[in-house]
Structure 1
Amino acid sequence: MKISDHESNMQIIKDVSSNFTSTFCGDMFSFALGLMLLHATGMSISFGLSMIIMPIVTLVGLVPIGNLVDTYKHKQILMISLAIRIIALFIYAVTIERFVGTGKLIPTVIFLIINYASVNVSNSGYMASVHELVNTGHIQKLNSLSQSAASFASTFSPIVAAALYVLVGFEWFVIFQLFAHVIALLILSTMHFHYSKSIQPESTIIKESQFGKFKVGINYLMSHHFLRYLISVALFLNFIFAVTNVGLPFIVVQHLHLGNVTLGLLNSADALGMLIGNLIISVSPELRRLARILAVTMVTMAIGISGVGFLLLVNPSKLLVQSAGSLMLFAVGLSLAFMNTPFGIYMQKTVPAEIMGRVSSTEMSLNMMSIPLGTVFYSFIFQRFPNGMVFVLSGVVMVSFTLLTMPKFIHMQMPDQDGVVEESRQ
């Protein structure tokens, strides 16, 4: 059954509403959780606990989650996953006060393991179910608006959380998060999933081994050269972008003493660029020249990162960093939107629905592992070379990577409405 444009638009409204509510309350909860643990334990790991647990859970769940998503109906998986998150959060809420000091880390670690396992299932399930929610012509709109909602929530949720934490305390953030999960579950229950008739019977699929089923997705990735290249680009960018995550706080606050406000403005400019970029994509005609878009965005990001590096090298004034730096990072965020969203669209239009769970699970796991590697690498570099030249050289590496690898794929285009991948002849 073909999904109509009207139904696709209604599904998009529901998805964006759910995504915004969940992301906004989720980010506030994470911020409040870090503050609560910091006050209770006095340990610096309080805000970094999630970054340690998330990659481990993602790696452990790589095979079973991919197989799970490709075996059962996606709506059932998403609803059960969200219900588990609600139950885990409720149990955490009623037990956390029974622990004191560093003891609070015990229930928190257990909760985060369950929570991130559920989030990974939901993320892979969502990626695999896009074709069941909207028609092909609305995939770009769905992805860009969902990313816009997430960017908006991520930009403003820490500000709201910081103000509210002083007034209401951690308990209310748990209530906000429970409320968001319940709202998301109710919205999900009203969404119509149009399942493909080509789905294999569960009894047939389950007879295969876990690794045997997962190997099908790996084989697809190995045979699809451009998709494999796109995932390599994503890994490279996640690694390189640690230069801003690690370097900006260290150089701006610790080395140049330009203050937390300056750092906040720079981070907000980056997030605002992503928000504006995704809004532009949502109202743009269907993106076609995929490889050329990616090449331009990578060079733009490299110039922006190098520009920030040069700016930090010249002992600038606070006002100059706040204004010029914000413009450069806005351009980086804008370009990043034109990198991330088209990549997601390409995967959803290219990868067969019956193996999307395994492919997306592999892609997310690889990306998750590259982030801590980049963080460790740049932490080591900035400890020894605390200046903007690290940003400049990172930008040069990005340009070099693009010029060396992109020409082979420069004619690749976004698949058409029927999922056919084309090459540009111009």
Structure 2
Amino acid sequence: MNDGLKLKKATYHLWTFTISKLISSFGAQVYSFAISFYILQATGSATSFAANLICNILPRTLAAPFAGYLADQYSRKLIVVLSQVATTIAVGGLLLVSFITDLSLTAIYITSCILSITSMFSGVTFTSSVSGLVDEARVQRAMSLNQMSISFAAIASPAVGGLLYGAVSMQTFLIMYMIASCLAVVLESTMDFTLFANRKEKEIAGQKESMWVSIKAGIIYLKLQPILVTIVWISLLINFLFGAFEVGYSFILIEKMKMVSQRFGFTQGAFAVGMLLLSIYFSIRKEVRYPLLVSKWAIVGMGCVMAAVSFPLLVGLTSTSVFVFYLVIMFGLGALIIIVNTPLQVMLQKKIEDDFKGRIFSLLETMAMALMPLGMVLYGFLYDLFPAQWILLLSASLFIGVVLVLARPSVIRKAHPEIAEPNAEKGRNVPTTVRM
């Protein structure tokens, strides 16, 4: 295939990938919004809400190594398509249960586990395939467009969910998700996942590695990359501490502030708007020069936002003031998450060899989420026992402390040696002005 045709196909992949993510994300987020409200209003318990979050996280953590192995050993296109088909079947099963009997927490939890696993296989494989779908010059744009599609869906889905919740049946939400999933399957089946791939041929009989040998090789490769190890430790600890926000935010707004579903939906939409605007910015700007440094300070910003969530619990505000405050908070958080993720994702896409991407991305996700189930359980109990504001303030302080220690200046200089190098100007050494 000539270069001109390959670039045309890469452009097609950019938009097909974006639209597919937009459609599937919209269905998933409308479903998630409705289920979260259903559980909290039916039980009024932060523990029950946290249990559903665990069902979304624990299976992903356990399945990630298998997803990485399959993504590096088998057809990535086949894995993505089959994962989306499995998602459609799982939602259809819950729809069938809802017609036969009333929805139970058990049925919801089981479905959440299945959807968690299918999204893991699809997500890891898609992430591993970005450099095979588009040319190297457009990797950052592809990652940004992916975030944009998720953001568009996140803007619309809470608003739609908030308006429809209580006005239509839960079956309507499930049918919407099924339709979106089916459309995503059709789009994904038209993509060529090997267009720019640089993978070694592994289909020769006797050449395919066993799963354990393959995973072990991925671990060894990871250990040889000290910056990746640092990213793993940061992800492990901050995702555990971010459980304070994951559980506390919905619990505070719905149970403590008694915010109506429409307003809650708009705060979620503000989060998506922040993600969207920063995704657009990254899609048109040059690559970030110092991705780990930029991500470090964005994570510190996230810690400040986490602490700020407790403010209305400490100071009396009107319901309108509370609503506006959380709109601003969620907008800022959405923007910061993109500033953290996009530069790091581009750096990893270019730093990790194609043959190891599935295993490395799955190992990174496994380690990032390893403590999240424990965090969900812990914070679910803590919010039922102690004042929410003090839980958030303590967790935010630890959150900021972790990144300042693990991403200290010496580590940043290892990731970006050019920061420490003096710039020659008229024969003199000029010290760098980059702040770490």
TM-score over 0.5 (shorter chain)? yes
The alpha-carbon distance between structure 1 residues 181 and 321, as it changes in their structure 2 partners (threshold 3 A), is closer
| 1:150-183: CA deviation from partner (whole Å, max 9, x where unpaired) | 1221233133134345555344434333322222
| Sequence identity percentage | 26
Q: 1:53, 1:112 within 8 Å by CA — same for their partners in 2?
A: yes
Structure 1 equivalent of residue 246 of structure 2: 245
Pairing 1:75–2:61 present: no
| SS of equivalent to 1:411 | helix
TM-align CA RMSD: 3.3
Paired residue for 2:299? Answer: 298
CA distance in 2, matches of 1:33, 1:251: 17
Give 1:123's aligned amino acid.
G
Question: Equivalent residue for 2:22?
Answer: 20
Shift of 1:271: 3.2
Structure 1 residues 423 and 386: alpha-carbon distance in aligned structure 2, compared to 1, 3 A threshold = same
Report the Cα offset of residue 226 of structure 1: 0.8
Q: CA deviation at 1:354?
A: 1.0
- Measure, in 2, the Cα distance between the counterparts of 1:55 and 1:269: 24
Q: In structure 1, what is the equivalent of residue 427 of structure 2? A: none
CA 1:384–1:162 in 2, change beyond 3 Å: closer, same or farther?
closer
Q: Closer, same or farther in 2 for the Cα pair 1:164/1:258, shift >3 Å?
A: closer
Q: CA deviation digits over 1:99-128, x for unaligned, max 9?
A: 42467845x555544433322211111111
For residues 256 and 184 of structure 1, the distance between their equivalents in structure 2, rounded to whole angstroms, comes to: 37
Alignment of 1:292-331 (within 5 A): 292-310=293-311, 312-331=313-332
Partner residue in 2 for 1:163? 163
In structure 2, what is the equivalent of residue 148 of structure 1? 148
Q: 1:200 aligns with which of 179, 196, 202?
A: 202
- 2:116 corresponds to which letter in structure 1? Y
Question: For residues 85-124 of structure 1, what are the structure 2 equivalents within 5 Å?
Answer: 85-90=87-92, 93=95, 95-96=96-97, 99-101=100-102, 105=106, 111-124=111-124
2:387 aligns to what SS in structure 1? Answer: coil
1:312 positional shift:
3.9
Aligned counterpart, 2:272:
271
CA gap of 1:274–1:412, structure 2 versus 1, over 3 A, is farther
Contact 1:313 1:389 in 2 (8 A): no
| Structure 1 pair 412–287 and aligned structure 2 pair: CA distance change class (3 A) | farther
The CA deviation at 1:325 is 4.5
CA distances 1:396-421 after superposition (whole Å, capped 9, x unpaired): 333322332221222366xxxxxxx8
Task: Say if 1:35 and 1:46, in contact at 8 Å, map to a contact too.
Answer: no
Structure 1 residue 7 displacement after superposition? 3.4
Instruction: Assess, with a 3 A threshold, how the Cα gap between structure 1 residues 292 and 150 changes in structure 2: closer, same or farther.
Output: same
User: What is the CA–CA distance in structure 2 between the aligned matches of 1:172 and 1:142, rounded to whole Å?
Assistant: 32
- Structure 1 residues 213 and 33, CA, compared in 2 at 3 Å: closer, same or farther? same
Q: 1:248–1:263: 8 Å Cα contact kept in structure 2?
A: no
Look up the SS of the partner of 1:203 in the other structure.
Answer: coil
Question: Counterpart of 1:74 in structure 2: which amino acid?
Answer: R
Partner amino acid, structure 2, of 1:160 = V
Contact 1:35–1:47 (CA under 8 A) maintained in structure 2: no
Structure 2: how far apart are the matches of 1:12 and 1:393?
Answer: 42
> Between Structure 1 and Structure 2, how many residues are aligned?
415
Query: Could you tell which deviates more after superposition, 248-257 or 333-342?
Result: 248-257
Whether the aligned pair in 1 keeps the contact of 2:240 and 2:369 (CA below 8 Å) is: no
Aligned to 2:393: 392
Partner of 1:347: 348
Does the CA-based 8 Å contact 1:310-1:389 persist in structure 2?
no
Q: Counterpart amino acid of 2:289?
A: R
Q: Could you list the per-position Cα deviations for residues 124-157 of structure 1 after superposition, in whole angstroms to 9, with x for gaps in the alignment?
A: 1111111110111111111112112112212331
Q: Is the 8 A contact 2:232 2:364 kept in 1?
A: yes
Q: For the structure 1 residues 423 and 373, does the alpha-carbon distance in structure 2 shift closer, same or farther, using more than 3 Å as the test?
A: farther
User: Can you list the C-alpha shifts for 1:360-403, whole angstroms capped at 9, x where unaligned?
Assistant: 22222233333332233334444454153443333333332233
Residue number in structure 2 paired with 1:368? 369
Per the alignment, in what secondary structure is the counterpart of residue 288 of structure 2? coil
Hey, what does 2:126 align to over in structure 1?
A: 126
What letter corresponds to residue 69 of structure 1 in structure 2?
A: A
Q: CA deviation at 1:251?
A: 4.3
Distance (Å, rounded) in 1 between the aligned partners of 2:98 and 2:268: 34
Letter in 2 for 1:53: C
Is the 2:51–2:377 Cα contact (8 Å) retained in structure 1?
A: no
Specify which of 26, 29, 32 is matched with residue 31 of structure 2.
29
User: How far did residue 23 of structure 1 move?
Assistant: 0.6
Residue in 2 that maps onto 1:417: none
Q: Does the CA contact (< 8 Å) of 1:289 and 1:412 recur in 2? A: no
Q: Given that residues 252 and 262 in structure 1 are in contact (C-alpha distance below 8 angstroms), is that contact kept between their aligned partners in structure 2?
A: no
What TM-score do you get using the length of structure 2 for normalisation? 0.82
Cα offset, 1:197, TM superposition? 5.1
| Residues 224 and 387 of structure 1: CA distance in aligned 2, closer, same or farther (over 3 Å) | same
Distance in 2 (alpha carbons) for counterparts of 1:85 and 1:258: 31
Residue 211 of structure 1 corresponds to: 212
Residue in 1 that maps onto 2:281 = 280
Aligned partner of 1:173 in structure 2 is 173
What is the DSSP-based 3-state SS (H/G/I as helix, E as strand, rest coil) of the residue aligned with 1:191? coil
Amino acid corresponding to residue 277 of structure 1 in structure 2: L
Structure 2: gaps spanning 5 or more residues: 422-431
Q: Structure 2: which amino acid aligns with 1:361?
A: S
CA deviations over 1:73-97 (Å, ceiling 9, x no partner): 211222233233334444554x425
C-alpha distance after superposition, 1:276-320 (max 9, x if no partner): 222221121111211221122123223333344455423344444
Q: Would the aligned equivalents of 1:55 and 1:365 in 2 still touch at CA under 8 Å?
A: no
Aligned to 1:418: none
Instruction: Please tell me the residue identity of whatever aligns with 2:213.
Output: G
More deviation, 109-118/209-218:
109-118
